[in-house]
Amino acid sequence: MKKIFKVLTVMCFMGVLVIISCKKGLKDETFSVYDSSKLTNPENGNQAVIGAYAALKDNGGYGYYAGFLYWLYEYPVDVVTTTITSRQGIQLDQLTYDASNSVINDVWVSIFKMISRTNEAEELINGIDYAAKGSTNALKLQNLGEIRFLRALAYYDATSLWGDVPLILKSSAHFTEADQNPTLTKQADVEAAMVADLEYAAANLPDSYASNEVARATNGAAKALLARLYMRQGQWQKAADMASQVMGKGYDLRTKAEGGLASMFNTNNRSDNEFIFVLKSSNEAGAYGINSNSFGINSTPWDLNRGYGNFPIHLQFYALFDKNDDRRNTLLTGSYKTLYGQIVNVPKEYGGLGGSAPDTVLAKYVYNLKYPAVNNYNYAGFNNVTILRYADVLMMRAEALNEINGPNAESINLVNQIRTRSNLPGLALTGFTKETLRDAIFDERNKEFFMEGRRREDLIRWGKSASNGATPLLKFKQKVVPLLRDQTTYSDAVNYQFYPYPQNEIQSNTSLSPSVNAGRVK
């Protein structure tokens, strides 16, 4: 941590001072020294906010939400697997990772870069008199709300992946010697700070922005993230209430008439009323290193559209879908024609069309089409990456209400909105118990949110609910172990709820020792 917060302090503030252009994307303007006496205008506050948003992709391509975060959220569970060419991915996928895994380290660094940027930005904005410089105090409060939302999001990911983490809520100008090597803060205390940030953000952020600013945090984004946090904590009534407040903000599902989910994820769809908060990407030349994501090029195979194929999906996942489900038929490669003229089909035993050589090749995997890469060689993903969307809010409320009251008409109606949008019949209320409706909700979540970073946390929350908190890894073990190449890899002595703290962090932070990873690795 000393390495991050001491060496990168100037770098993080450099990222805070970013100028945004609708035509040119994000462009860094570098200042070698933080001179608060010169950064006194509201425009400097806005630059600080944009710089904080830029940390969501941590230099584009693979950084943070542009890619590596999803390696940690998707690989260890039961939908995505990996190819033999991705060594770090194989370790995550097969649960053989340890503290030296480079992706674990990269995500840790990205998260704390974001936290550092938000802390520096908060300090800067607090020191600017917006009203006296021709702006308004309302804009100052909005900018602070955006910063605090982003800090809460970073801490949400940190606590989801590691549990206890250092809690740092001040700029480097106010660091003490102890802050250079911070100790771990209990997850509950970090979450309390997140609640404070999100409540502040919700009170000061607008309901919407102009269409060209769709990727800025709104009141609805703050409340949706707060609902997600309450779900993770098992505070069902708070989660249901917060989701209800988001449902009153004018969001809706992209309908079948509008093209459904496939059109929402289309590269040309730059904004949509189902998006609550996204990482906005760019289709400009050279965007890979600035304002893009790696999902498109990694999600599909070379013989389909020159993708890298590093996120293949188990055939068993394809087999879960009804044959009429639009999500299967438009967002997974059940059947496609290769660049070389062959047809690749899912085998019949997994619900596919099957076939035989020489005209047909049977698929070993299916691939995700939510992040399309359209035959390009610039290795950039051009579509937005969804961080919060309205369908998730509906499903959170459905789940929370079931946990409170058992099967109820509203939960069924909310789930059915998701199902009917994908060409499936609605569920009937009769015949469900709390347990079976819970299972149905998680089954629907799996099909709706695959490759959106939700499955790992869903399995842990499902295990907690199904075991009354006694066995959080109940569903994780049940779903993941059968798909491991070597099932003996899984160890009941390892707490897969949390990753090991990165070796680089242990070596640079004198408050930590290798013993901190006891029970997190074999």
From residue 483, alpha-carbon distances to 76, 95, 162, 464, 508 in Å are 10, 11, 24, 22, 36
User: Which region among 247-261, 370-384, 501-515 has the lowest average model confidence (pLDDT)?
Assistant: 370-384
Does 30 have pLDDT greater than 50? Answer: no
97 within a domain of the structure (yes/no): yes
Q: Kindly state whether residues 365 and 428 are assigned to the same domain.
A: no
Helix (H, G, I), strand (E, B) or coil at 13: helix
The answer on pLDDT for 22 being more than 50 is no
Per the structure, the count of domains in the chain is 3
The residue that leads in pLDDT, 300 or 362, is 362
Burial of 337 (0-12, 13-18, 19+ CB in 10 A): exposed
Confidence of residue 380 (pLDDT cuts 50, 70, 90): low
Band of residue 372 on the pLDDT scale cut at 50, 70, 90: confident
Do 275 and 291 lie in a common domain? no
The answer to whether position 505 is within a domain reads no
pLDDT band at 8 (very low <50, low <70, confident <90, very high): very low
Q: How far apart are CA 40 and CA 106, in angstroms?
A: 33
* Triad 477, 390, 65: Cα angle to 5°: 60
Tell me which of 335, 359, 383 is where a domain ends. Answer: 383
Q: What is the pLDDT of residues 193-231, one digit of tens each?
A: 999 999 999 999 999 998 777 789 999 999 999 999 999
The pairing of beta strand 360-362 with beta strand 343-345: parallel
Residue 92: pLDDT over 90 = yes
User: 264 and 274 in contact (C-beta within 8 Å)?
Assistant: yes
Q: 513: helix, coil or strand?
A: coil
Cβ-contact 150, 52 below 8 angstroms: yes
pLDDT attached to residue 373: 67
User: What value does the mean pLDDT of the chain take?
Assistant: 89
Q: What was the pLDDT predicted at 379?
A: 54
> Same domain, yes or no, for 256 and 297?
no
pLDDT score, position 39: 87
Report the alpha-carbon distance of residue 483 to residue 439 in Å, rounded: 20
Decide if pLDDT at 260 tops 60.
yes
Higher pLDDT, 31 or 311: 311
* 264 and 325 co-located in one domain: no
End position of a domain, from candidates 280, 296, 319: 280
Q: Does 443 share its domain with 294? A: no
Verify that 291 and 275 share a domain, yes or no: no
Radius of gyration (C-alpha) of the chain in whole angstroms: 23
333 and 407 belong to one structural domain: no
Tell whether the model's pLDDT for residue 148 goes beyond 90.
Answer: yes
Q: Tell me, yes or no, whether 202 and 268 share the same domain.
A: yes
- State the Cα–Cα distance between residues 219 and 204, nearest whole angstrom: 7
pLDDT at 43 over 70: yes
Q: What is the pLDDT of residue 294?
A: 82
- Does residue 51 surpass a pLDDT of 60? yes
449 with 322, same domain?
no
Reduce the DSSP state of residue 166 to 3 states and report it: coil
Q: Is residue 363 part of a domain?
A: yes
Instruction: Give the pLDDT confidence score for residue 48 in this predicted structure.
Output: 95
* Residue 234 resides in a domain: yes
Q: For residue 391, is it within any domain?
A: no
Q: What integer pLDDT is reported at residue 378 of this predicted model?
A: 53
Is it the case that residue 375 has pLDDT exceeding 80?
Answer: no
pLDDT digits 0-9 by tens, 262-312: 888 887 776 789 999 998 876 555 444 456 678 888 888 989 988 888 899
pLDDT number for residue 24: 32
Does 261 share its domain with 291?
no
Q: Are residues 303 and 267 in the same domain?
A: no
Question: Residue 376: its pLDDT value, please?
Answer: 55
Mean pLDDT along residues 28-45: 64
- Of 241-250, 368-377, 454-463, the one with minimum mean pLDDT is 368-377
Q: Where a domain ends, among 334, 358, 383?
A: 383
Judged on CB neighbours under 10 Å (0-12, 13-18, 19+), 43 is middle
Domain, as residue range, for 353:
287-383
CATH code of the domain in which 16 resides:
1.25.40.390
pLDDT at 381: 63
For residues 379 and 413, membership in a common domain is answered with no
Q: Is 92 helix (H, G, I), strand (E, B) or coil?
A: helix
pLDDT at 171: 94
CA atoms of 106 and 162, how far apart (whole Å)? 14
Does residue 374 form part of some domain? yes
pLDDT at position 16: 41
pLDDT for residue 70: 94
In this prediction, residue 214 carries a pLDDT of 75
Instruction: Give the confidence band of 19 by pLDDT, cuts at 50, 70, 90.
Output: very low
On whether residue 520 sits in a domain, the answer given is no
Please tell me the least confidently modeled range out of 77-86, 123-132, 361-370, 425-434.
77-86
**Domain annotation covers residue 214:** yes
DSSP reduced 3-state for 447:
helix
Residue 283 has a pLDDT of: 59
DSSP string, 424-442: -PPPPSTT--HHHHHHHHH
